[in-house]
Amino acid sequence: DQHIKGLKALGADISIEHGYVTAHADKLVGTNIVTDMVTVTGTENLLMAAVLAEGTTVLANAAREPEVADLANCLVKMGAKIKGIGSPQMEIEGVKKLHGTTYRVISDRIEVGSFLVAAVMTKGKIRVTDCDPHTLTAVLEKLEEAGAKVTTGEDWIEVDGTGEHQAVDIRTAPYPGFPTDIQALFTAVCSAAEGTSVFVETIFENRYRHIPELIRLGASIKVEGRVAVVQGVEQLSGAKLCAGELRGGAALVTAALAAEGTSEITGVGYIDRGYESIEKALRSVGADISRVGQQSRN
C-alpha cells in the first residue's frame, strides 16, 4: 500500500480488484512523497518510477538498506540523476531515458549472515568472501555477544563459533538496525544457547511461523504477539519439519544441522527463493545434508 500511494501521487492509475493489481500511466510527474513507514521494496519501486518521471521527485522516509543504495547507484550508471543515496531522503530529477551499463550487484548480506549464523549454531568456523562486513554490523555484534569470535577484512568475514554460546536479546529494526530477515536464524541459535533470550519483531507480523517447528526439535519458546521468549536447551533432536516461508525455512535447516539425529524438511521451495542450492553450499563446509527427490523450487 505504501508504494501504491506513492505511484498514484506520481500520476499512475492503479486499482486492486479480486486480488489483481491493474496499473496504467500515460505520464508520470515528479512530486513529494512521504511514506508512512520505511519500506524497502516500496522505496525501490518508487525510485525506479521517479527516475523516468517528468520533473523532480523528493522521496522522504526512504529505506536505507544497502540494496536500495545499490539499485540507486546502478540507475545512476544508467543515466539517472539521484541525490541523497543511502540517506532517508532522496531527490530524483527525472530523465527522458536510461541507457545500458555493466554493473556488479552487491553480495546478498542476508545469505552471508545465514552462513555465519549456521557456523555458530553448529559450533564451527567459517570464512565468507566477496561480501561487505559493513552491511552486517548489527548481526556481527550480536554474534560476538553470543560468544563467537568475529574477524573481518575488506571483503570477507570469518566467524569462529567453537566456544560456548550465550543468550542474546534481539529487537529488529530498519537498516542499520538488526535485520528482520535474520531474526529467525537467531531464534534457532538461542534455542540451544545458555540462558534466556527475548526477541521483539518490529517490522513484520507473523514472523514467528518457524517457531512451532523449532519446538518439534525440542526448543523451548513462548510467543505472545510480537515477542518471543527463548529458553536455551542443552540439545535439540532431529524431527520431521515443514518450512512455511523463506527465512524461517533457513532457520530450520540451521537448527537441524545442530540437532542430534536426522531431520527431514519439506517445503524447501520456499528456501530456494533466497538461497541457490543451499545444500551444496553447506556440504562444501562439512554439513551432512542432501536434497531428496525433486521438491518444488517455486
pLDDT digits (tens, 9 = 90+) for 146-179: 999 999 999 999 999 999 999 999 999 999 999 9
- Cβ atoms of 109 and 135 closer than 8 Å: yes
- At residue 293, the pLDDT reads 74
- pTM equals 0.91
Name the E strands within 225-275.
227-231, 240-242, 264-266
On average, the pLDDT of the chain sits at 95
Q: Are strands 32-34 and 227-231 parallel, antiparallel or unpaired?
A: unpaired
The string of pLDDT tens digits covering residues 46-58 is 999 999 999 999 9
More confident residue, 127 or 296: 127
- Give the model's confidence band at 297: pLDDT under 50 very low, under 70 low, under 90 confident, else very high: very low
d(CA 141, CA 137): 6
Name the E strands within the chain.
13-17, 20-24, 32-34, 56-60, 81-83, 89-93, 125-129, 149-152, 156-160, 170-171, 196-200, 220-224, 227-231, 240-242, 264-266
Residues 6+ apart with CB under 8 A from 3: 35, 39, 41, 42, 43, 45, 46
- Give the model's confidence band at 294: pLDDT under 50 very low, under 70 low, under 90 confident, else very high: low
SS3 content of the chain, % helix, strand, coil (to 5): 35, 25, 45
- Give the model's confidence band at 295: pLDDT under 50 very low, under 70 low, under 90 confident, else very high: low
d(CA 257, CA 192): 12
Query: 296 pLDDT exceeds 60?
Result: no
State the cell numbers at 52. 523516468
- Cβ atoms of 74 and 104 closer than 8 Å: no
- Cβ atoms of 164 and 147 closer than 8 Å: yes
State the Cα angle at 101 between 98 and 105, rounded to 5°. Answer: 110
Query: 186 pLDDT exceeds 50?
Result: yes
- At residue 292, the pLDDT reads 87
Q: Is the peptide bond before 176 cis (omega within 30 degrees of 0)?
A: yes
- Give the model's confidence band at 298: pLDDT under 50 very low, under 70 low, under 90 confident, else very high: very low
The string of pLDDT tens digits covering residues 255-276 is 999 999 999 999 999 999 999 9
Cα–Cα separations (whole angstroms), residue 71 to 11, 64, 66, 108, 263: 23, 11, 9, 13, 39
Residue 217 has phi, psi (to 5 degrees) of -80, -5
The answer to which of 39-43, 262-266, 292-296 has the lowest mean pLDDT is: 292-296
